[in-house]
């Protein structure tokens, strides 16, 4: 990489606007290498779906926005998601995306066996409470028999969860771990570890060069910076709502001597925090006189969802 690039602070690929632009049809080689690392398998054929919206049959059906949808080797559907904010619903969110992708694999009159294997990969930028005692950066989830864990009902379902907070420790244990290498790049390409990785991993070097070009694009940098700020604002407001709800719930519970008081107060804080957060962020973006398309990209929502917020 040219010397001048060293002084430029690169955009972070974990910001979904950057992620979706980087891993796309126009960067098939990089996307293929990334998919191979995430799936631990050789990718001979890849189809990249740049249409991010999940199919829905009825207008009232919930619409999902995919970060990266792939068709691998004509036998697997893969969705790789970046989750930057803990909305306490990642399990349900992944199941929703999985069910939509799997459903779309079976057409009317088809044999169910024709459905491709569906793999969901969720990259989390927060600590996942369910796996807080597990030191590994990745956990894999399948349908197993309760009393005979070795029995898997089907190999057509797999959900992988990667926690970015645990990646550095994993990399230090094995610096040849390509999944950890890519996760470090996703988290922040400006680190000394990524510079170290680039010396041996040509695909990540190419990805860094590509992100450098994206960083030089004024419009992309502006949108990514605003998106990152919106994410930080959302995290701060959620944290405040959580703390307020926890305090209110604690007081109610202590005064009334009921556990319900704590639960209700906590839920109230979360709900009010979410509404406040959305309103504050949207108002700030409107003051900047951004277009509807730009606001939707920054908030990672559809125009339909934006109309409901206003």
Six-digit token string for 55: 């199919």
Distance, C-alpha 168 to centroid of its chain? 18
DSSP assignment of 241-275 equals: HHHHHHHHHHHHHHHHT-HHHHHHHHHHHHHHHHH
Q: What are the pLDDT digits (tens) for 41-52?
A: 999 999 998 775
Q: What pLDDT shows up at residue 53? A: 52
- Per-residue pLDDT, averaged over 46-64, amounts to 56
CB neighbour list of residue 200: distance below 8 Å, 6 or more residues apart = none
Q: What pLDDT shows up at residue 240? A: 65
Q: What pLDDT shows up at residue 254? A: 40
Q: Please choose, from the candidates 83, 70, 66, the residue with its C-alpha nearest in 3D space to the C-alpha of residue 117.
A: 70
The answer, as to whether pTM is greater than 0.85, is no
Using 50, 70 and 90 to split pLDDT, how confident is the model at 109?
confident
Q: What are the pLDDT digits (tens) for 239-278?
A: 765 556 555 544 444 444 444 444 454 445 555 555 566 6
Q: How far apart are CA 9 and CA 194, in angstroms?
A: 13
- Per-residue pLDDT, averaged over 284-290, amounts to 75
Most confident of 58-62, 81-85, 280-284: 81-85
Q: What are the pLDDT digits (tens) for 162-221?
A: 999 999 999 999 999 999 999 999 999 999 999 999 999 999 999 999 999 999 999 899
- Per-residue pLDDT, averaged over 136-141, amounts to 96
Q: What are the pLDDT digits (tens) for 25-37?
A: 999 999 999 999 9
Q: What pLDDT shows up at residue 244? A: 60
CA within 13 Å, CB half, 177: 17
Q: How far apart are CA 81 and CA 66, in angstroms?
A: 7
- Per-residue pLDDT, averaged over 135-150, amounts to 94
Q: How far apart are CA 39 and CA 282, in angstroms?
A: 37
- Per-residue pLDDT, averaged over 272-296, amounts to 71
Q: What pLDDT shows up at residue 271? A: 52
């Amino acid at each position: 990489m040219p010397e001048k690039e060293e002084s430029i602070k690169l955009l972070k690929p974990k910001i979904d606007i950057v992620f979706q632009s980087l891993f796309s049809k126009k960067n098939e080689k990089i996307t293929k290498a990334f998919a191979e690392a995430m799936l631990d398998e050789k990718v001979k054929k890849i189809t990249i779906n740049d249409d991010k919206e999940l199919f829905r049959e009825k207008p009232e059906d919930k619409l999902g926005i995919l970060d990266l949808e792939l068709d691998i080797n004509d036998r697997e559907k893969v969705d790789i998601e970046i989750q930057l904010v803990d909305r306490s619903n990642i399990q349900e969110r992944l199941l929703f995306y999985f069910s939509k992708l799997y459903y779309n694999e079976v057409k009317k009159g088809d044999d169910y066996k024709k459905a491709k294997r569906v793999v969901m990969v969720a990259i989390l930028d927060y600590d996942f409470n369910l796996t807080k005692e597990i030191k590994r950066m990745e956990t894999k989830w399948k349908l197993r028999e309760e009393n005979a864990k070795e029995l898997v009902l089907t190999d057509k379902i797999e959900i992988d969860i990667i926690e970015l907070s645990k990646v550095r420790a994993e990399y230090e244990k094995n610096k040849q771990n390509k999944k950890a290498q890519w996760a470090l790049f996703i988290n922040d390409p400006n680190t000394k570890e990524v510079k170290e990785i680039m010396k041996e991993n040509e695909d990540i070097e190419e990805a860094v060069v590509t992100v450098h070009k994206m960083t030089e694009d004024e419009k992309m940098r502006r949108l990514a910076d605003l998106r990152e700020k919106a994410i930080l604002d959302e995290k701060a407001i959620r944290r405040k709502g959580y703390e307020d709800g926890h305090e209110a719930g604690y007081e109610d519970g202590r005064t009334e001597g009921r556990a319900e008081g704590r639960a209700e107060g906590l839920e109230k804080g979360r709900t009010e925090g979410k509404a406040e957060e959305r309103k504050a962020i949207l108002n700030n973006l409107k003051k900047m006189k951004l277009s509807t398309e730009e606001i939707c990209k920054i908030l990672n929502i559809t125009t339909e969802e934006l109309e409901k917020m206003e």
